[in-house]
Amino acid sequence: MSGFAIDIDGPVLVATMADGENRLGTPMLVAWNDLLDEAEGNPSVSSLVVTGHDRHWSTGLDLDEVLDLDDTAAHTFMRKVDLLLGRILTAPLVTVAALNGHTYAAGALVALAFDYRTMRVDRGFFCLPSVVVGIPFSPGRSALIAAKLPQPIAHDLVVSCRRIGGHEAARSGVVHRAVDATNVLHAARELAHAYSGKDPATLTTVKRRMYPEATGMLTPQR
């Protein structure tokens, strides 16, 4: 699959991004949606793990593409990013992001849309630098941050734009496990296997009801 290397491990689909910094541009958005189509369409798969390669999980938007768009095209592109976040947030799967490296900006938002996150402690930062970059969060992205992070932590990370490593991310509730580099994917696989086998329709319904504000803004209107 373009953008991802796929491995099926029983009920767990493990996808590895293979595009360097894994920036979100049009090709990567297509790849993400293709990945979700494959995972959701495989009746033997009930959990999804996504990791990266080398130093990065995802460094956010492909600004080379985004900044070259006119206002209408930029709005359309940003809406596609929102819809991806909403699709991951409400996926009929147990989702685990194995953060092997830097996870910045829109990449950090994608990670927050997952059910669980593991992160390596020796290298890589989690950062929400919207204020520094000068691209405000959409209402849906703000709702996602508020839904997934403790309020004081969310406020600090958004206002300060500071980078945090694995140990602090685990202490503050940004990630669920902080481990050494050799175990970040293993820990994600463990979580995915432990919580696999859930009823897909019920899982999506529960997620929608847990995060109604974010879901309402990040998913297509019914």
pLDDT exceeds cutoff 60 at 166: yes
Dump the DSSP string for 52-78: -BTTEEE--B-HHHHTTS-HHHHHHHH
Q: Does residue 221 register a pLDDT over 80? A: no
Q: What is the mean pLDDT of residues 36-54?
A: 96
pLDDT higher than threshold 70 for residue 120: yes
pTM: 0.97
Q: Distance between alpha carbon 204 and the CA centroid of its chain, in Å?
A: 16
The residues facing 24 across adjacent strands are 61
- Confidence at 18, pLDDT banded by 50, 70, 90: confident
132-142 mean pLDDT: 93
Q: What is the C-alpha separation between 203 and 200, in angstroms, rounded?
A: 5
The CATH number of the domain holding residue 142 is 3.90.226.10
Q: Which domain holds residue 57?
A: 4-218
Spatial contact of 1 and 55, defined as CB atoms under 8 Å apart: no
Work out whether the CA dihedral 9, 23, 140, 177 comes out positive or negative: positive
DSSP for 111-171, written as a single string: HHHSSEEEEESSS--EE--HHHHT-PPPHHHHHHHHHHS-HHHHHHHHHH---B-HHHHHH
Give the pLDDT band of residue 1 (cuts 50, 70, 90): low
**Residue among 9, 6, 187 at smallest CA distance from 98:** 187
d(CA 23, CA 54): 14
Give the chain's domain count.
1
Averaged pLDDT score across all residues of the chain: 95
Of 29, 7, 25, nearest to 16 by C-alpha is 7
Give residue-wise pLDDT tens across range 63-104: 999 989 999 999 999 999 999 999 999 999 999 999 999 999
Q: Identify the pLDDT of residue 20.
A: 84
pLDDT at 220: 87
* DSSP tag of 181: G
- For residue 164, what is the DSSP state? B
Q: Give the mean model confidence (pLDDT) for residues 193-213.
A: 97
Determine the 3-state secondary structure of 130 from DSSP.
helix
Amino acid 50: pLDDT = 98
Share of the chain above pLDDT 90, in %: 92
- The mean pLDDT value for 183-191 works out to 97
CB distance 70 to 205 below 8 Å: no
Q: What is the mean pLDDT of residues 203-220?
A: 96
Per-residue pLDDT, 22:
95
Taking the C-alpha atoms of residue 214 and residue 218, their distance in angstroms, rounded to an integer, is 6
Q: What percent of the chain has pLDDT over 70?
A: 99
